[in-house]
Homo-oligomer: A and B are copies of this chain.
Amino acid sequence: MDKNSAPSKIGILGGGQLGRMLLQEAANYTVETWVMENDDQCPAAHLCHHFVKGDIKNFNDVYAFGKKLDALTIEIENVNTEALEKLESEGVKIYPHPSVLKTIRNKILQKEYYKKHEIPTPEFRVTANLDELKEAADFLPAVHKIGEGGYDGRGVQLLKEREDLAKGFDVPSVLEKMVVIDKEIALMVGVNDKGETAVYPPVEMSFDKDLNLLDYQLCPALLDEKILWKIEAIALAVVRNFKSPGIFAVELFVDRKGDVLVNETAPRVHNSGHHTIEAHFSSQFDMLWRIMLGYPLGNTAAILSSIMINIIGAEGSSGDVIYEGLDEILKIENAFVHLYGKKQTKPGRKMGHVTIVSREKQDLTHKANIVKRKLKAKA
């Protein structure tokens, strides 16, 4: 199929680091790009053809933004899905379909989706309010997850024993039975308009227990072949049942018995795919453009093994950011530094990431530890 000369007009709702990296890759093709965000100093604002200041949660803003476009994607789930549904009914292509967004961003609906499609996921109960939660002592230890509005560790509460129940959420939430986790795995899947899929190798995630934020992630994950197959099959089941094109990050637990359970899914480019920029033939960002532009799916294979470390705003420090130790990290011969251009840091804020690529796993973890020890984003 030849491409005609008028470039596609494609918009992104949200202008954070995911939009920024999407736009870096967009410039390899001839697409005309739009971004909507309420802050014209956001990380992605200057990298698109047309920046529109607006509220991605507001029906009129989203509808007016999308009406002139051929296609629309998101870099955050929390957008006005009613406007997206109207746009979709009027012929604008939405990646992913708004119905998927509605399912995923509500943790109750997301869990019910897994159940309906017989996808293994930690056992759960829905709690309408704190009173209902308090009757669930038999279900502990468990994790209480707020139905709507949780993000990056907010809206998640660990409930170990009866006395913890009062710390739960007094709004519709999911109470999820605690799983004894052996490994936390994530993998990205691209789906095109024809329903064809491209599966990236799984990554192994190591979390900062205090912040519930990613510590570092290794690709490929070290897994038995049988577990790898199970992970891929389950991730594909998650994604295929959405019947939607787009790119998806599926996060899974492997328990001590080797069982695989889906933790959650994001229907967009995702932190767990950042290493694909340098370490894989087609990055997650490249893949989404290929999907939206009707190009062939990209090659998900790794060029080299990699490790990715987030640069997180240091504890106890807010204000204009400085990157302590940056020069030292920039001297590591196989490190790729990405700073997101956020002017202000605050504790836990994602300020950038570093990817190390190498033929040797020891080299990856050794250098990841240097990055974690030396590089600080603080005010």
Binding site for B on A (CB under 8 A): 1-7, 20-21, 23-24, 27-30, 33, 46-49, 281, 290, 295-296, 298-299, 301, 303-304, 320-327, 330-331, 333-334, 336-339, 341, 343, 357
B residues less than 8 Å from A48 (CB atoms): 46
Beta-carbon contact of B322 and A4 below 8 Å:
yes
A3 to B324, CA, bound (A): 7
A295 to B6, CA, bound (A): 40
Beta-carbon contact of A299 and B334 below 8 Å:
yes
Our pick among B2, B322, B343 for the contact of A2 (Cβ within 8 Å) is B322
Our pick among B4, B24, B295, B336 for the contact of A327 (Cβ within 8 Å) is B295
Beta-carbon contact of A2 and B301 below 8 Å:
no
Task: With both chains docked as a complex, state the minimum distance between the C-beta of A8 and any C-beta of chain B, in angstroms.
Answer: 12
Residue of A46, A324, A327, A339 with most partner-chain B CB within 10 A: A46
B residues less than 8 Å from A327 (CB atoms): 1-2, 295-296
B residues less than 8 Å from A341 (CB atoms): 7, 27, 30
Beta-carbon contact of A29 and B339 below 8 Å:
yes
B residues less than 8 Å from A28 (CB atoms): 24, 336-339
A21 to B341, CA, bound (A): 18
B residues less than 8 Å from A290 (CB atoms): 330
Beta-carbon contact of B2 and A334 below 8 Å:
no
- Given known pairs A323-B2, A339-B28, the reply for A304 and B303 (CB within 8 Å) is yes
Closest residue to A334 on the B side, CB-wise?
A: B281
- How many copies of this chain are found per oligomer? 2
Residue of A3, A23, A27, A337 with most partner-chain B CB within 10 A: A27
Beta-carbon contact of A343 and B5 below 8 Å:
yes
| Shortest beta-carbon contacts, A-B, top 10 | A5-B320, A299-B333, A46-B49, A296-B331, A296-B330, A295-B330, A28-B338, A24-B24, A30-B339, A24-B27
Beta-carbon contact of B5 and A321 below 8 Å:
yes
B residues less than 8 Å from A304 (CB atoms): 303
A327 to B320, CA, bound (A): 45
A316 to B28, CA, bound (A): 26
A337 to B28, CA, bound (A): 7
Our pick among B20, B33, B303, B339 for the contact of A357 (Cβ within 8 Å) is B303
A339 to B32, CA, bound (A): 13
Cross-chain pairs A/B with CB under 8 angstroms, 23 sampled: A2-B323, A2-B326, A2-B327, A3-B326, A4-B322, A5-B343, A6-B320, A7-B341, A24-B27, A27-B47, A28-B336, A28-B338, A33-B46, A46-B47, A47-B47, A281-B333, A281-B334, A295-B326, A296-B330, A296-B331, A301-B333, A303-B304, A303-B357
B residues less than 8 Å from A3 (CB atoms): 322-323, 326
Closest residue to A376 on the B side, CB-wise?
A: B2
Closest residue to A49 on the B side, CB-wise?
A: B46
Task: With both chains docked as a complex, state the minimum distance between the C-beta of A73 and any C-beta of chain B, in angstroms.
Answer: 18
B residues less than 8 Å from A33 (CB atoms): 46
A26 to B39, CA, bound (A): 20
B residues less than 8 Å from A331 (CB atoms): 296
Given pairs A301-B333, A303-B303, 11 additional interface contacts (CB within 8 A) = A2-B324, A3-B322, A3-B323, A5-B321, A23-B47, A24-B28, A29-B337, A30-B339, A33-B46, A46-B47, A46-B48
A326 to B2, CA, bound (A): 7
Task: With both chains docked as a complex, state the minimum distance between the C-beta of A19 and any C-beta of chain B, in angstroms.
Answer: 11
A326 to B327, CA, bound (A): 40
